[in-house]
Structure 1
Amino acid sequence: METLIASLDDAPIIDKDGYEYLVHPISNGVPMLDPALLREVVVELMQTAELDVDKIVTPEAMGIHLSTALSLQTDIPLVVIRKRAYGLDGEVSLHQQTGYSESEMYINDVEAGDRVLVVDDLLSTGGTLAAICASLSDIGAEIADVVVVLRKVGPSALDDTEFEVTSLLDITVEDGEVLVH
Structure 2
Amino acid sequence: MITADILRQYRLPRTLARWTPSGAPGEVKVPLSNEYLAEGSTDLYLNGVRPTDRIILIDDLISTGGTLVSLIQAITTAGAEVLEIFTIGEKTENKGRDFIAQQTGLKVKTLLATDLHDDGQGVRSRVMHVNLGMLDEACFAQVSQHFPPGFCRIGSGAESHAGAHS
Same fold (TM > 0.5):
yes
Deviations 1:5-45 (A, max 9, x none): xxxxxxxxxxxxxxxxxxxxxxxxxxxxxxxxxxxxxxxxx
Equivalent of residue 92 in structure 1, options 16, 24, 28: 28
* Bigger RCO (CA 8 Å, 6+ sep): 1
Shift of residue 129 of structure 1?
Answer: 0.2
Shift of residue 151 of structure 1?
Answer: 1.2
Could you tell me whether the CA contact under 8 Å between 1:66 and 1:121 is conserved in 2? no
Residue in 2 that maps onto 1:180:
128
Following the alignment from structure 1 to structure 2, what is the Cα–Cα distance between the partners of residues 177 and 145? 26
Aligned residues: 117
Aligned-residue sequence identity (percent) comes to: 26
Following the alignment from structure 2 to structure 1, what is the Cα–Cα distance between the partners of residues 126 and 10? 31
Shift of residue 169 of structure 1?
Answer: 1.6
Structure 1 residue 149 corresponds to structure 2 residue 88: yes
Distance 1:171 1:177, change over 3 A: closer
Q: Structure 1 length normalisation: TM-score?
A: 0.59
Deviations 1:97-143 (A, max 9, x none): 11122521211110111011100100011100011112211221111
Could you tell me whether the CA contact under 8 Å between 2:28 and 2:77 is conserved in 1? no
- 3-state DSSP class of the match of 1:93? strand
For structure 2, list consecutive stretches of 5 or more residues without a partner in the other structure. 118-122, 130-166
Structure 1 residue 70 corresponds to structure 2 residue 6: yes
Structure 1 residue 165 corresponds to structure 2 residue 103: no
Determine which structure has more spread, i.e. the larger CA radius of gyration. 2
Shift of residue 89 of structure 1?
Answer: 1.1
4+ residue stretches of structure 1 with deviation over 3 A? none
Q: Structure 2 length normalisation: TM-score?
A: 0.64
Residue in 1 that maps onto 2:79:
140
Could you tell me whether the CA contact under 8 Å between 1:81 and 1:107 is conserved in 2? yes
